[in-house]
Amino acid sequence: MQTSIRPPRLFVLLLALVVCVLTLQVLLFSSNPIAGLLWPALVAAISLSAAFGSRRSASILQYLYFVMAALPLLFLLVGSSASALARMVFVSAFLIACGLYIARSRSLAEFYALHASHGKNAA
């Protein structure tokens, strides 16, 4: 009998929140939302792969979050309004926190170890 291995709920919640935040940010503040939705779609696809047990996808997602957090902070040099600045800092801090969760979560490491050993036993 097959037992299902589920990712930690916090991990799934964070993945969903990141996709929602990125989608809302594009829809509310982008001049071309159709092209802008490619980033959230890419993040959603990698997130699904990570949630289904791909440790490689989780590592890619972790680094992608760090890069996506750093890029808006580069625009601080250009000069923005106070609300845009606050939004960029908030989203960047959120992405960094999610990347650190992926990197340091003990429950997530156990999930991937269990998923990997379950895959070897099935083969």
Contact (Cβ atoms closer than 8 angstroms) between residue 47 and residue 60: no
Residue 85: inside a domain, yes or no? yes
Report pLDDT digits (tens) over 45-84: 999 999 998 999 999 999 999 999 988 777 776 767 778 8
Residue 3: inside a domain, yes or no? no
What global pTM score does this model have?
0.83
Residue 1: inside a domain, yes or no? no
Of 3 and 87, the one with more pLDDT: 87
Query: What's the CA gap between 59 and 36, in Å, rounded?
Result: 23
Domain count, the chain: 1
